[in-house]
Chain A
Amino acid sequence: MDVPSKSNKAWADIVTGKKTYQLKFLAAKILLGRLTRAVKEDPSPDNVSSSVDQIYAIFANNVNMPSVQDDLKTIFG
């Protein structure tokens, strides 16, 4: 599965904590532990956008990992 574009609402829903998922990709979990907290403290559009950039980038750069493929299916179906 390809990585859906950054404009897909699901990315923003993850970093804002509107939706939570049980993920497998370790780097994503560690990064989201920090990003969701930072967005909760500062939910400005710029901060949400920057956080989406970061989480999108680690998925896009590791798309061949089995855990990433599993997580993409979990998030985007």
Chain B
Amino acid sequence: MQQTISTVAEITKKIESGRKLLLAGDEDALRQLPKGDWIAGTIPYFISGEEGGMVSREMICATDISDYVTDIEIATYDANSLARVYSEGPKHGFSFIIIPASSQTHLSFALNGPNYKDFGIRPLIGWIAGVHLSDLGKKTPKVVNGRTGEVLEDAALVLQAQLPINKVAEIGIVNLFEQGDGDILTFASDGFAAKDVMVNGEKRNFAAYIVKNKLDTKLPLVADYYGALVNISFQDVDEVEGQVKFYAPVFTGIRYKHARPVLDYVKEFNLRLTKEGAIESNRVVFSCNCILNYLYSELEGKKTDPFVGPVTFGEIAYQLLNQTLVYLEIMDV
């Protein structure tokens, strides 16, 4: 694992020695860093190897990829040009993306990413930048281009990393949520909000349905993508307006089910890793987990070994995910 939680002075030293870094930290901390080979997103929540879940406005989470990559490029995309993100990925390597939460670029990627040209043709992993929860509405999430010093609130920064020919990147997810035994839910249009839902084929108001059935909105909707379980987290249920908002878009034609409860995140997390068994910690280069898992499962002070890293406002493993841990492995071939 190449992820550490470090001081601004320690990161500065690494940057000045030419290390290639993927960074996460509070905006004020990131603004103190010198120019160099790095990109960053704002977030003050982390999972550290020593302390487990933690919040710090002073420390920075750093993933040092210098020893894996042969070359990097940093590209900036807007909501329109991001459609090229898969096509322009390195032929032998991976792309690492950070997008500020609630920006037009974030919304566009969430809605349109699965239909971008060459979807999945090259590995794309990353996360959605956020802010301290007490700063919601006061500060905006941002991304920082270390080479230029630009601090951006509506753009996607992508670090395109070339790997040597004997190494390959793989992206994985750990999602503890599974589809429950309840109704099949489908939607008539794509979007971050829905008024109506089809419940087993019958049209209903979604907010009223949630209230009547006492659905726990800390549990996401779960879709089955050919065996990959993809969550849609609830943001708000407005009974008066009859509208439900989500942290990722629902899509037409996808069959969702409300998730089965996860009673003890850390316990079930460890059980899952034991069961799957194939994750070798020395191959995991980067991981991040969702702020909703951090909050709802009370991860502050709790460890999720071998995974550390930023706690994010959304996770990207080819497309936007919610309430999911995503990780990047680099292995010899």
Residues of A within 8 A of B (CB): 20, 22-23, 26-34, 36-38, 41, 54, 57-58, 61-62, 64-67
Tell me which of A32, A41, A61 contacts B122 (CB under 8 A).
Answer: A61
Contact B120 A28 (CB under 8 A): yes
Q: Which residues of A contact B317 (CB under 8 A)?
A: 26
Q: Which residues of A contact B223 (CB under 8 A)?
A: 33
Contact B114 A64 (CB under 8 A): no
Q: Which residues of A contact B119 (CB under 8 A)?
A: 27, 31, 54, 58
Residues of B within 8 A of A (CB): 114, 118-123, 168, 170-173, 223-228, 230, 253-254, 317-319, 331, 333
Once A29-B226, A30-B230 are accepted as A-B contacts, the answer to whether A57 and B114 lie under 8 Å apart by CB is no
Once A30-B114, A37-B254, A58-B121 are accepted as A-B contacts, the answer to whether A65 and B226 lie under 8 Å apart by CB is no
Complex: chain B residue closest to A30, CB-CB: B225
With both chains docked as a complex, state the minimum distance between the C-beta of B70 and any C-beta of chain A, in angstroms: 15
Residue among B114, B171, B224, B225 with the most chain A CB within 10 A?
B225
Contact A30 B333 (CB under 8 A): no
A-B contacts counted at CB < 8 A amount to 67
Contact A64 B173 (CB under 8 A): no
Interface SS majority for chain A: helix
Complex: chain B residue closest to A22, CB-CB: B227
With both chains docked as a complex, state the minimum distance between the C-beta of A40 and any C-beta of chain B, in angstroms: 9
Q: Which residues of B contact A20 (CB under 8 A)?
A: 226
Complex: chain A residue closest to B172, CB-CB: A26
A20 to B224, CA, bound (A): 14
Known: A62-B122, A67-B170. 5 other contacts (CB 8 A): A26-B171, A28-B226, A29-B225, A31-B120, A66-B331
With both chains docked as a complex, state the minimum distance between the C-beta of B259 and any C-beta of chain A, in angstroms: 17
Q: Which residues of A contact B114 (CB under 8 A)?
A: 30, 34
Complex: chain B residue closest to A58, CB-CB: B120
With both chains docked as a complex, state the minimum distance between the C-beta of B265 and any C-beta of chain A, in angstroms: 22
A30 to B326, CA, bound (A): 14
A30 to B254, CA, bound (A): 12
Tell me which of B122, B168, B228, B331 contacts A26 (CB under 8 A).
Answer: B228
With both chains docked as a complex, state the minimum distance between the C-beta of A14 and any C-beta of chain B, in angstroms: 9
Contact B226 A33 (CB under 8 A): yes
Q: Which residues of A contact B122 (CB under 8 A)?
A: 61-62
Q: Which residues of B contact A57 (CB under 8 A)?
A: 118, 121
With both chains docked as a complex, state the minimum distance between the C-beta of A23 and any C-beta of chain B, in angstroms: 6
Complex: chain A residue closest to B119, CB-CB: A31
Q: Which residues of B contact A23 (CB under 8 A)?
A: 226-227
A27 to B114, CA, bound (A): 10
Complex: chain B residue closest to A38, CB-CB: B253
Contact B319 A30 (CB under 8 A): yes
Q: Which residues of A contact B172 (CB under 8 A)?
A: 26
Contact A30 B118 (CB under 8 A): no
Residue among A26, A36, A64, A66 with the most chain B CB within 10 A?
A26
Once A22-B227, A36-B226, A37-B253 are accepted as A-B contacts, the answer to whether A30 and B318 lie under 8 Å apart by CB is yes
